[in-house]
Amino acid sequence: MAIITEAQIEELFLNELRELGYGYIHGGSAMPDGEYMSSDSQGVVFKEMLKAAIARINPNVSADGQEDAFRKVLKTNSPNLIQNNYDFHRYLTEGVDVEFRVGDRIAGDKVWLIDYHNPESNEFFAVNQLEILENNVIKIPDIIIYINGLPLIVVELKNAADENANIKTAFTQLQNYKKAIPSLFHYNCLMIASDGWEAIYGSLTAPKQFFLSWKSVDGNATADPNVPQMETMIKGMLSKKTLPDLIRHFTVFHKNKDELTKIIARYHQCYAVNKAVEKTRMAQR
């Protein structure tokens, strides 16, 4: 029996994303704006792509207001990663409140980073084997998934045939990345670990037992157990329609005293809620 390599698993993952309409950039290539990614929180963002998305999604907001939102997204306000992630999550899901001068007065507005009403108008793409240097340490996540220039998902892949590099070690690697390159995780919405067959996802704060599989492509039926979980997760959770919805409506932070915990819904919760909402709308009509 042929043994599949980690590189082949990575290529399978990228091919599935391409079939969903994602773009692709190799980590060693120049960014669309002609720059290379660097080590700080501004470096892991495709800045020109983000600026273009802000302008495209918010045409009625002034240029000064758009620039204010752009600066706020790139700025970190706390030495605590989870607090910064919470602040960014609010920008992503509630919009960025901005202020700008109009004549002799200060006006306010709200800037959106993702077009939730028209998911296809957002720019989805994947970057693989990106070298990120931070605090004199280089780390290379397997795949980073971007929406509108923002690095929202980190994917770590291992080979199921290698007993020393399984899905558990992929999860551990993600935890190591959080410590070594926190600038990347300032923007993180969720993390994925897979061995090419099994695939689990979880939040920035979730322990291993709360990393779960995504078991349906459309919510109408549970996937065939003979189909790799990785394929089901990509086609179901990472579709251009489902992913923004999962980020905005099915991800919350829970605060207990001074501790923030990020919680992401399970697949059946997302599908069930959306079906209930749709039934209610139909009843109202």
**Domain extents for the chain?**
6-33+124-281
At residue 278 the predicted structure's pLDDT band, cuts being 50, 70 and 90, is confident
Residue 101 has pLDDT above 70, yes or no: yes
Q: What is the pLDDT of residue 31?
A: 53
Mean pLDDT computed over every residue of the chain: 90
CA distance 180 to 96: 28
CATH for the stretch 6-33+124-281 = 3.90.1570.50
CB burial readout 51-68, b (16+ within 10 A) else e = bbbbeebbeebeeebbbb
Is the pLDDT at 18 greater than 70? The verdict is yes
Confirm if 9 and 110 have CB atoms less than 8 A apart: no
Two structure tokens written together for 179: 């410590």
Predicted model pTM = 0.92
pLDDT at 35 > cutoff 60: no
pLDDT above 80: residue 128: yes
Give the model's pLDDT for residue 242.
96
Q: Which residue has the tokens 């899901």?
A: 93
Give 33 or 130, the one with higher predicted confidence.
130
Q: Is the pLDDT of residue 181 over 60?
A: yes
> Among 8-12, 35-39, 88-92, 258-262, which stretch is predicted with the lowest mean pLDDT?
35-39
Instruction: Report how far residue 100's alpha carbon sits from residue 110's, in angstroms, rounded to the nearest whole number.
Output: 11
pLDDT interval class at 159 (50, 70, 90):
confident
Continuous segment of H or E residues that includes residue 134: strand 132-134
